[in-house]
A = this chain, B = another copy of it.
């Protein structure tokens, strides 16, 4: 009965998984305080715009906890004949579960979903140190990410 399963974040289950989602995302970057109110606002925003945001978790079914998470943002453009681009964002795997191929499973799921939704390309930004991992997931280097922080 132990194992892993894919599960969406819903308005019903998001607070139940909050602590394990925070723990998982904190393996990627700063999560911050994230009050229940703020967290619910984010999930409501995603659900109201479900044709734009698709977030998927991998859950450890025995512990009933989120152990990996990732988001696909679908952008509609004028270019490429009103084409769509899938942006893969905020891919995180709980440290204790790394090395099981969960990151690759997540990427494949979100990438396939983007292709199914007719995106002409799927892109992501990452650190130089993760390039090799994403190459194994069928991505190739194509540009430079630049940032402005206020």
Contacts and interface: CB of A to CB of B under 8 A. Distances in A.
B79 A29 contact: yes
Interface residues of A, number: 61
A69 to B, nearest CB: 8
Contacts of A41: 82
A-side binding surface: helix, strand, loop or mixed? mixed
Contacts of A142: 145-147
Nearest to A125: B143
A122 B139 contact: no
A104 interface: no
Contacts of A109: none
Interface string A96-129: 0000000000000001000100011111111110
A77 interface: yes
Q: For the complex of A and B, list the 7 residue pairs with the smallest distance between their C-beta atoms, beginning with the closest.
A: A32-B81, A143-B145, A139-B146, A38-B82, A142-B147, A122-B148, A115-B150
A60 interface: no
A125 B143 CA distance: 6
Contacts of A73: 73, 75
Interface in A8-66: 21, 25, 28-34, 38-39, 41-42, 45-46, 49, 52-53
